[in-house]
Amino acid sequence: MARITAGVTCSHVPAIAAAWDEGRAGDDYWRPVFAGFDWTKRWIAENMPDVVVLVYNDHASAFSLELIPTFAIGCADRFEIADEGYGPRPVPAVEGHADLAWHIAQSTILDEFDMTIINKLDVDHGLTVPLTLMFGQPEAWPTRIIPVPVNVVQYPPPTGNRCFLLGEAIRRAVESFPEDLNVHVWGTGGMSHQLQGPRAGLINREFDTAFLDRLTTDPEALRKMPHIEYVREAGTEAIELVMWLVMRGALGEHAKELYRFYHVPTSNTALGHIVLEPTG
Amino acid sequence: MTDLSEFDDIPGTTLFTAQRSRKGYWLNQFCMSLMKAENRERFRADERAYLDEWPMTEAQKQAVLKRDYNAAMAEGGNIYFLAKIFATDGKSYQYAAGTMTGMTQEEYAQMMLRGGRSIEGNRSIKEAR
């Protein structure tokens, strides 16, 4: 049977993509950012997932205002790299896992989550930045990816609790898939950041640290956190953190922290990264 | 009706609500068009003529021409859509965010290096905290 063996979260700041793609990863500004993933690179090489269910948000790349799915799932065999206005990133296309993705889609919909099924999806920095941080620049990505885009652009996004419940439903779906697969669930985006208006540049280290702590010590408190608290305390774009709760919901009641990295600044953003293991 | 008024109490912050989304629909759709290289070329060649192909308000067009991102947001623009404009200009999110704060690029970059804008005093207008 397929099983979820780890949860990973990570910010997906687009400037990381630019720094990597333009060969500036060794600069004084960027070196500590990439070094923060050295541990994870070693760990993941030894625990390589067959499939990653990658929860992220599209940034007006695949979805415009014409169509705004709250929860969606990429069920194709392959996803191309989006042109976000700078030209597509020079990274490999993403290979999906259509069998598991369709299984998760069917299972979660019958479990009363109204997922949007996607067969054509160009993926943007929200999905590719975490891959770069975890895997560098391979010829092909070493794992298959099931993209799960969540709307956090048009208010309102789903509540944190709803995201957590979806994570639980994804776990039930994965555990009922007959093939023996090692599956990770990744939540991306965050942490504190505000990209717009006179309050741009907001960073709240205390909020972020408490959020990282509570992923293991008190996830119940996180699932009850209302949108206003994310926005007020950590910035408009910090609301992306609800996506981390899909990951947390997928791990089950208890989880152990294996690794954590937190770094300010990454462009406008506090970069947060955590690796969790389900412990039953 | 969903009451979102408590979000208006957060200083210097605009939530992309249904109302703003409706107001900014064509501005944001224009921005989406800049994801195609040929449209970026046409926009660069004659910005005004390209904008005139879209059913946008004059205020929206002026905000784009002046790269006044606060004005663009007031007209219903969303930052992830507006990003297509500064991407076309070869500029970063940090550049664009900086222009919205009233700080110079250097001041904004320095603030971020010092750990970013503090939350103290930036939570609530009416409670001044």
Chain A contact for B71 (CB, 8 A cutoff): no
A82 lies in a domain?
Answer: yes
Condensed to tens digits (0 to 9), the pLDDT of residues A52-107 reads 999 999 999 999 999 999 999 999 999 999 988 888 999 999 999 999 999 999 99
Q: Token match 């603030």: residue?
A: B111
Q: Are A263 and A32 in contact (CB under 8 A)?
A: yes
CB contact under 8 A, A60 and B122: no
Nearest CB to B116; choose among A228, A236, A265: A265
Name every chain A residue with its beta carbon within 8 A of the beta carbon of B33: none
- Per domain, the residue ranges of chain B are 16-89, 92-129
3-state DSSP assignment of residue A53: strand
Shortest distance, CA B69 to any CA of chain A (angstroms)? 8
Catalytic entry in A59, A97, A193, A273: A193
Condensed to tens digits (0 to 9), the pLDDT of residues A212-223 reads 999 999 999 999
CATH number at residue A33: 3.40.830.10
State which H helix or E strand residue A10 sits in.
strand A3-10
A74 lies in a domain?
Answer: yes
CB contact under 8 A, B84 and A197: no
Helical segments of chain A, H only: 14-21, 31-35, 38-46, 98-110, 125-135, 160-175, 205-217, 219-223, 227-234, 242-250
**Residue A53, both tokens:** 């269910």
A279 lies in a domain?
Answer: no
Shortest distance, CA A154 to any CA of chain B (angstroms)? 6
CB contact under 8 A, B87 and A203: no
DSSP lists the bridge partners of residue A276 as: A7, A257
A14 lies in a domain?
Answer: yes
Name every chain B residue with its beta carbon within 8 A of the beta carbon of A202: 116-117, 119, 122
Whole-angstrom distance, CA of residue B70 vs CA of residue A198: 8
Condensed to tens digits (0 to 9), the pLDDT of residues B35-54 reads 999 999 999 999 999 999 99
Condensed to tens digits (0 to 9), the pLDDT of residues A157-198 reads 999 999 999 999 999 999 999 999 999 999 999 999 999 999
Whole-angstrom distance, CA of residue B66 vs CA of residue B64: 5
Nearest CB to B32; choose among A64, A155, A201: A64
Name every chain B residue with its beta carbon within 8 A of the beta carbon of A14: 93
* Domain containing residue A44: 3-273
| A103 noted as active-site residue | no
| A227 noted as active-site residue | no
A89 lies in a domain?
Answer: yes
CATH pick for B16-89 out of 1.50.10.20, 3.30.1300.10, 2.20.28.160, 1.10.700.10: 1.10.700.10
- The pLDDT mean for chain A works out to 97
Q: What is the pLDDT of residue B1?
A: 62
Q: Give the number of domains in chain A.
A: 1
State the pLDDT confidence band at A146, using cuts at 50, 70 and 90: very high
**Residue A163, both tokens:** 């995201």
Chain A contact for B125 (CB, 8 A cutoff): no
C-alpha of B60 from chain center: 11
Nearest CB to B101; choose among A198, A235, A265: A198
Whole-angstrom distance, CA of residue B6 vs CA of residue B59: 27
Segment A18-25 mean pLDDT: 97
Amino acid at A245: L
A280 lies in a domain?
Answer: no
C-alpha closest to that of A223 among A207, A209, A206, A211:
A211
In the predicted model, residues of chain B with pLDDT beneath 50 are none
Name every chain B residue with its beta carbon within 8 A of the beta carbon of A155: 4, 15-18
Nearest CB to B92; choose among A154, A197, A267: A267
pLDDT at A40 over 70: yes
Shortest distance, CA B20 to any CA of chain A (angstroms)? 10
Whole-angstrom distance, CA of residue A78 vs CA of residue A94: 6
- Tell me what percent of the residues of chain A surpass a pLDDT of 70: 100
Shortest distance, CA B60 to any CA of chain A (angstroms)? 17
Q: Token match 């390209």: residue?
A: B50
